[in-house]
Amino acid sequence: MSSTKQEENVTASAIHIEDCTDNIEKNGVEITYERDRHHKCLAVRQTCHSCWIPVRSKYNSLPENPSQLQRLKYALLCPPHGKVAHYIQLVILFCVAWATLISLTQDEALPGGHFFSLLVLFFSAVIGGYIVSLFRLPPLLGMLIIGCLLKNIPIVKMIGDNLNQQWSSVLRQVALTVILIRAGLGLDPKALRKLSWAVLRLAFSPCLAECIIEAIAAHFLLGLPWIWGLMLGFVLAAVSPAVVVPSLLSLADRGYGVDKGIPTLVIAAASVDDVIAITGFGVMLGIAFSTGGLAWSIVKGPLEAVCGVFYGIIVGLIIWYLPSKDSGHVTFYRILLLFGFGFTATFGSDLITLPGAGPLGCLTMAFMAAFKWRKDADGNGENAVSDIVAVMWMIMQPLLFGLIGSAVDVSTVDGSTVGLGLATLFISLVFRLIVSFLAVFGTPLNLKEKLFIPFAWMPKATVQAAIGALAYDKAIEFKRSDEIVYGRQILTIAVLSILVTAPIGAAIISILGPRLLHKTETKVTEPLRLEESVDEERGFLLKEREVKDETSHFPSHEKECN
């Protein structure tokens, strides 16, 4: 029996050893196969990486002074970045929005409908703005031109004709609310307290002087009543931050005028200049459409200003404490309250026949709210809200300038209006340049720098687009034929002022800045070299190329065999 058991044990051991040997051979084959496959995968990946390098922005940096072709090539490199990525994102978002609108409104979102025309206008304005920006001109110029073309070119005229005038008016007022809130948030009380009398003169003197000269010229050349002449004056008197700020920041980045604080001086005064123009326009608008007697018309202007400031202060105080700091999603609720009260001021002031109070209320409210938010312990509340408002303006800007352009029907514009309007604009600009030059006397600026300030104080765009059509919309609402003509004249001249001063002003700033301003040397950060990037990626691939121990990848059967 014992011998039989021994023979059985020996036989079982032999079978087990054979199984272990077979497993080892099989695992060895599998290990060799997996190793070969891993090497092949690495080879394929390295090959793909080599082919991918020419189209990757990481390894094809922009040269120091790139041409327009080099900029375009760099913009199209992968992965999508910069404006290209931004526009791709917008296309996807609005394609989804269009599909949603088709589902909800059906015919209105199809060709020939209002929403379809609005969508085409938006995308066309975005593309037009991008094309114009390639020539280092303000994007808003391309947006405005696209709007004019969609209204006046026979082939695509249906786009402009199918826009609903009531919706267009509402969207322009929404854009105005966004601009006013953004301007109010940008007014820094500390900076305002530090402003010298020269900066205050630069903010007030050119604006008021141009307004008065334009009112006089418009009265005698265009036949506008004095109130409508002053309204035109306040529309055209505002300087455009959308043109001035990027141009001056570009000069500051290169060190021009930094030692004397010229970019800071002009940018700080620009916000005050716009507040004066918008407030004055609102008061004149209220007087022009007043339904009371002469006494009421005289009292209504100051009353609108007082009501606007009072509304802004009260609402600003409310937003100081609501939402509370310990509640969740503070920034979200601040945005809701800010725009909720802002839209209430803009549209509600029309309802109570005090239209001038709305814009001033929005400005005061945003200024009051930001004053408190800057003192918060976290220090991020005001910045977060400002960033969101900036994004909303980025969306509203193509709509605003596209709609303003589409409101100009060339077939209904009198040729004399264009000629006399340009004459009015030219006369007022001459006086603005002179007053701006005199406003900076008594400052440490030298003669060349004083000559630069008036030309930097010339471009017009944003405010003209925001309020240029409001008088025309109001005249249509009241169905006053004479005032509709006046409103159309103001709108036409506002568009002309943008087309003339925005590109010329931007070009003059970029040309005269390096010639008239002193340059302060700035440190330039050395860009990452292509060789360093390639070495970094090659090192990463070499690390992956190393094959780990077989025991770490594949389980050993040694214990089982034992």
Average pLDDT over residues 247-266: 74
167 pLDDT band (50/70/90 cuts)? confident
Nearest to 185 by CA among 392, 378, 344, 397: 392
More confident call, 12 vs 248: 248
Whether the pLDDT of residue 213 is over 90: the answer is yes
Q: Is the pTM of this model over 0.85?
A: no
What pLDDT is stored for residue 154 in this prediction? 80
In this structure, are residues 292 and 300 in contact, taking their beta carbons and an 8 Å threshold? yes
Q: How many angstroms separate the CA atoms of 111 and 523, rounded? A: 54
What percentage of the chain carries pLDDT values higher than 70?
Answer: 76
3-state helix vs strand vs coil in the chain, percent to 5: 80, 0, 20
The set of residues, in sequence order, having a beta carbon less than 8 Å from that of 227 and lying 6+ positions away, is: 284, 287, 288
Average pLDDT over residues 240-269: 73
Q: How many angstroms separate the CA atoms of 374 and 366, rounded? A: 12
Q: Select, from the ranges 208-217, 276-285, 300-309, the one with the highest average predicted confidence (pLDDT).
A: 208-217
Average pLDDT over residues 138-155: 82
Q: How many angstroms separate the CA atoms of 231 and 480, rounded? A: 17
Whether the pLDDT of residue 558 is over 50: the answer is no
Whether the pLDDT of residue 171 is over 70: the answer is yes
What is the chain's mean pLDDT, rounded? 75
Whether the pLDDT of residue 543 is over 60: the answer is no
Whether the pLDDT of residue 551 is over 50: the answer is no
In this structure, are residues 279 and 359 in contact, taking their beta carbons and an 8 Å threshold? yes
Average pLDDT over residues 380-400: 77
Whether the pLDDT of residue 458 is over 80: the answer is yes
Average pLDDT over residues 109-130: 82
The beta strand positions in 272-314, using DSSP E, are none
More confident call, 70 vs 102: 102
What pLDDT is stored for residue 494 in this prediction? 86
Whether the pLDDT of residue 125 is over 90: the answer is no
Q: How many angstroms separate the CA atoms of 140 and 400, rounded? A: 9
Radius of gyration of the chain (CA): 33
What pLDDT is stored for residue 71 in this prediction? 73
Token output for 246 = 């990027």
More confident call, 62 vs 341: 341
Residues 21-79: tens digit of each pLDDT: 555 555 555 556 566 666 667 777 777 767 767 777 766 777 777 777 777 777 777 77
What pLDDT is stored for residue 21 in this prediction? 55
Q: How many angstroms separate the CA atoms of 438 and 452, rounded? A: 12
What pLDDT is stored for residue 38 in this prediction? 64
Cis omega (within 30 of 0) on the bond before 323? yes
Average pLDDT over residues 121-147: 82
**Amino acid identity, residue 307?**
C
56-65 long-range contacts, CB within 8 A, separation 24+? 57/81, 58/533, 59/530, 59/533, 59/534, 59/537, 60/530, 61/527, 61/528, 61/530
Whether the pLDDT of residue 554 is over 50: the answer is no
Q: Select, from the ranges 37-41, 307-311, 461-465, the one with the highest average predicted confidence (pLDDT).
A: 307-311
Token output for 41 = 């995968």
